[in-house]
Structure 1
Amino acid sequence: MAHTPKIAVIIGTTRDSRFGEKPAQWIAERAKARGDWQVELVDLKDFDLPLFNEMASNAWMESEDSRAVAWQKKVGEFDGFIFVTPEYNRSITGALKNALDQAYVEWNRKAFGIVSYGGAGGTRAAEHLRTIGIELQMASTRSAVHIGGSEFMAVHPLGGDPKPMEAIEGAIGNSAVAMLEELDWWVRATLQARDTQAKAA
């Protein structure tokens, strides 16, 4: 393998009142603590993506909007991803779906894990995200971190007195360890396969 795996932790919501930064920073610190990845927090707010309006996916033709191209270049820097997403009406956010749609080849044959939160721990959003990942030719970890119920209310401002994420590690810490371990396996496997393919080409 040519380099240390580079992992993006993507904050999957752009709403002003969002909660996503808190679990994103928490899982990013957990990922960095491994010591064997380069980890970067990627905020969709920083990219000002338009709604997808290209002639076609960049699987078929180059995108024209410079903001979409900048996003594609950013996605292309990484070997794997951790998506941090709330559940909105049983799915992921519109902002995250749009960001996924704005690239294609840059997602291909890479792995991802999920941290979700909200109704039922965001499990329905996570399952939807996995099916989108399949279409993007990505590999998902089996394990994910789901923040719901009393744990969600303990760390979210809606609970009245939000605690730090560390306060609920007893409930979600093992899931985080499992997800990160699985992500490491898939990232290294897909990275090696892409390197082999590139050398053959």
Structure 2
Amino acid sequence: MLKIGIITGSIRDVRVNDQVAQHFKEVADSKNLENVSFEIVDIKDYQLPIFDDALPPAMANKQYNNPDVQKWSAKIDELDGYIFVTPEYNKTITSALKNNIDHIGPEFAHKSAGIVAYGSTLGIAAVMSLRGILANFRLATVTPHGAFNYFTDFVDMKEFQPSEVHTPTVHAVIDEVVAWGWGMKDVRENHLNK
């Protein structure tokens, strides 16, 4: 079984992030892919304190003092790939998403990730920022990226209604994360630490 987590990137009460994540899950589920499951991982359920641990996560060996961090670690560790859904804030990702990523590290290694962003300029700067962050964890980010505009893909910036032009890209993001997810699972199981 290949398990893909669709990770929300916003914790705001007025967020539209969960709508975008839900859209991707619905499309992914409609594909009826054999031996592949999708679930939404809402960072609002894993709100962590600002990172200030004594040891960098790379040295913690997936053992963290804070039980909330341990819960987040276990969830990310059990997944084989991810689709990150993030708004663009000030030409980067949200501080909430960055903070959750900073608390862990090895859990992401040798897995696949797709990036979906949105904003007034399609969230392109957030995509580029997140790609750099994820590369640090030896996580294979795939293309294409989902890129949505607040003015054309949302009604009054409150209701996600993606333009039809995005349909092939939505499918491609999902398909690439799954394909690379299987490949990276093989790498983890058969080619590392042998």
Using the size of structure 2 for normalisation, the TM-score is 0.92
Shift of 1:153: 3.9
Match of 2:185 in 1: 191
Runs of 4+ residues over 4 Å off in structure 1:
none
Measured against aligned partners, the alpha-carbon deviations of 1:65-104 in whole angstroms (never above 9, x if no partner) come to 1111111001011000000100000000000001111111
Output the CA distance in 1 between the equivalents of 2:156 and 2:37.
27
| Structure 1 CA distance for aligned equivalents of residues 54 and 95 of structure 2 | 20
Q: Percent identity?
A: 30
Structure 1's 149 and 21: CA in aligned 2 closer, same or farther, altered over 3 A? closer
**Aligned mates of 2:25, 2:56 — CA distance in 1:** 30
> What CA distance in whole angstroms lies between the structure 2 residues aligned with 1:186 and 1:122?
23
Say if 2:14 is the partner of 1:22. no
Between structures 1 and 2, the one with greater strand share: 2
Asked if structure 2 preserves the Cα contact closer than 8 Å seen for 1:151 and 1:171, the reply is no
**1:45 & 1:97 partners in 2: Cα distance?**
13
Matches of 1:106 and 1:173, distance apart in 2: 31
Give the structure 2 partner of residue 10 of structure 1: 7
The structural deviation recorded for 1:181 is 1.7
- Contact 1:122/1:147 (8 A) holds in 2: yes
Alignment match, 2:64: 63
Pick closer, same or farther for the CA change 1:68–1:13 going to 2, 3 Å.
same
Per the alignment, in what secondary structure is the counterpart of residue 30 of structure 1? helix
Partner of 1:178: 172
Which amino acid is 1:78 matched to? L
Displacement of 1:113? 0.5
Aligned residue number for residue 43 of structure 1: 42
Distance 1:56 1:155 in 2: 44
Work out the CA distance in 2 between the residues paired with 1:69 and 1:103: 9
- Bigger share in helix: 1
Structure 2 unaligned runs (5+)?
none
- 8 A Cα contact 2:153 2:163, kept in partner: no
Query: Given that residues 123 and 148 in structure 2 are in contact (C-alpha distance below 8 angstroms), is that contact kept between their aligned partners in structure 1?
Result: yes
Matched to 2:77, the amino acid is G
CA contact (8 A) 1:118 1:152 kept: no
CA distance in 2, matches of 1:196, 1:34: 28
Instruction: Supply the AA of the counterpart residue of 1:33.
Output: S
Letter in structure 2 aligned against 1:15: R
- TM-score normalized with structure 1 length: 0.89
In structure 2, C-alpha distance between the alignment counterparts of 1:70 and 1:150, rounded to whole Å: 37
Q: Report the AA paired with residue 30 of structure 1.
A: V
Q: How many residues are paired up?
A: 190
Shift of 1:155: 6.5
Measure, in 2, the Cα distance between the counterparts of 1:18 and 1:149.
12
Indicate if the aligned counterparts of 1:25 and 1:41 stay in contact, CA closer than 8 A.
yes
Match of 1:127 in 2: 128
Question: 1:50, 1:67 within 8 Å by CA — same for their partners in 2?
Answer: no
- SS of match in other structure, 1:120: coil
SS for the counterpart of 1:114 is strand
